[in-house]
Chain A
Amino acid sequence: MGLKTALFAEHQRLGARMVDFAGWLMPLHYGSQIQEHQRVRQDAGMFDVSHMQAVDVAGAQAVDFLRYILANDVTKLNHGKALYTCMLNANGGVIDDLIVYHQPAGFRLVLNADCIDKDFAWLQQQAQAFQVELSRQDLTILAVQGHHARAKTLPLLPKAIQAQAADLDYFFSTAVTEGWCVARTGYTGEDGFEVMLPNTQASAFFQALLKAGVAPCGLGARDSLRLEAGMNLYGLDMDEQHSPLVSGLAWTVAFKPDNRNFMGRGALEQQKQQLEQKFVGVLLTERGVLRHGQNLLQGNEIVGEITSGGFSPTLNHSIGLARVLNEIDACEVDIRGKRYPIKIVKIPFVRNGQSCLSL
């Protein structure tokens, strides 16, 4: 335990409060989570997410392999496009969620730190039936997010990748160039980049971004930003017991073409016929904070539960994601034995610095 990223010394130097996350010592915040959150919404912030793991997939059957193990369909990808997808077990439960980046030499998967050991074992086991090579990449991953993130990052990238990075459309990545790969993806609901780079160059890049006025941000702000953006967190909003269909991720499952046989397809086809729950955004207009695991009630019946919750600095209210029975359009939440009415609202809550709700 206590794994350190290549930027550990930088976090310490900045006085970050470090916490254990999936065995890694990661910054929770550098003073104020709310200020970091607002810097990303208004300007630009950066997150060390090097605890996430990149796995490259190459070989003659890389496409066939990924079409079998991923619920979304990588044949949608060409010329550097990225794809968000779940990796399912045979029951349709979610082993992990990930982004696949299309590369000239194959594909790069970026997986959750908490899941990487089981993910990699699963990938290796499933890969036995295919001509593919899997290789784990030990990289620094720095997410630079916010309205000004791209403009502040571009001049600091290696010359060889600058032009490619400047031309990226949303949800595309560059080819790996001199060990660097820049993607226009993120987990905040803002524009920006996720930059994968060699560990040896991490500190210099981080310091250059600091100098350019990019705020260092911790995992705390990363969580409140993704929640406002209505993005799921693995382990809370979906897991091996909850399929994408009851986790607001049906849009990531490619049932077309009908003849693509992917892991978990049979189970999902069955589930689709009898879905009793929906996945929604919830808003608490009274004081208090929604948290994972709180029950939703109508009368004396439990009709759902909060899968992730927190305080929204943009809306100045607590928000959450929840799984509830289909017919429910109004209910109450139980917070430490007291009941408060909650509103069911559309996801996302915030995009590009602006609230999406009319409060």
Chain B
Amino acid sequence: MTPIPADLLYIDTHEWVQVLEDGTAHIGITDHAQALLGDLVFIELPAIGEHMKAGQECGVLESVKAASDLYSPVAGVVIALNDGLIDAPERLNSDPYAAWLLQIQLDDSHALDSLMDADAYAALLANE
């Protein structure tokens, strides 16, 4: 099992958030999420410019096993997509903490308040 990076924030639907220097954030899925899904084969992402509420469905991840919704852990506007993943969704399996899916311009500084740090996320996984 890949260690849970200490510099990211987490939500109980198994997405991670990385706050970048300019205050925007990358969103991805955790190692636990990719392990549950199995090999990813297709991904469907929202359009650039779309506004997301926290907890809103913002895409679909199709694995060999099932289709699974992607949830936005934060409120904000989609400003970029990691297009490279569309043709190489297997990178979500091999390197889940590097393979960001969306970049989001956060609505406000409180957008991160409800997220977990790595220790809290590790504790959540231990209880599952």
Contact = CB atoms under 8 A, between A and B. Distances in A.
Interface of A: 17, 28-29, 32-34, 220, 224, 287-289, 291, 310-311, 318, 336
Interface of B: 35, 38-39, 41-42, 44, 60, 62, 64-67, 90, 93
B44 A33 contact: no
B38 A336 contact: no
Nearest to A17: B35
B38 A289 contact: no
B42 A288 contact: yes
A147 to B, nearest CB: 22
A356 B90 CA distance: 25
Given A32-B93, A287-B44, A220 B38 contact: yes
A336 B60 CA distance: 10
Which one of B41, B44, B62, B93 has the highest number of Cβ atoms from chain A below 10 Å of its Cβ? B41
A336 B93 CA distance: 24
Nearest to B69: A336
A221 to B, nearest CB: 9
A33 B39 contact: yes
A336 B39 contact: no
A220 B64 contact: yes
B39 A289 contact: no
B37 to A, nearest CB: 11
A119 to B, nearest CB: 27
A32 B41 CA distance: 12
A289 B60 CA distance: 11
Nearest to B39: A34
Nearest to A223: B64
A26 B62 CA distance: 23
A236 to B, nearest CB: 15
Nearest to B86: A287
B64 A33 contact: yes
B64 A224 contact: yes
A76 B97 CA distance: 58
A28 to B, nearest CB: 7
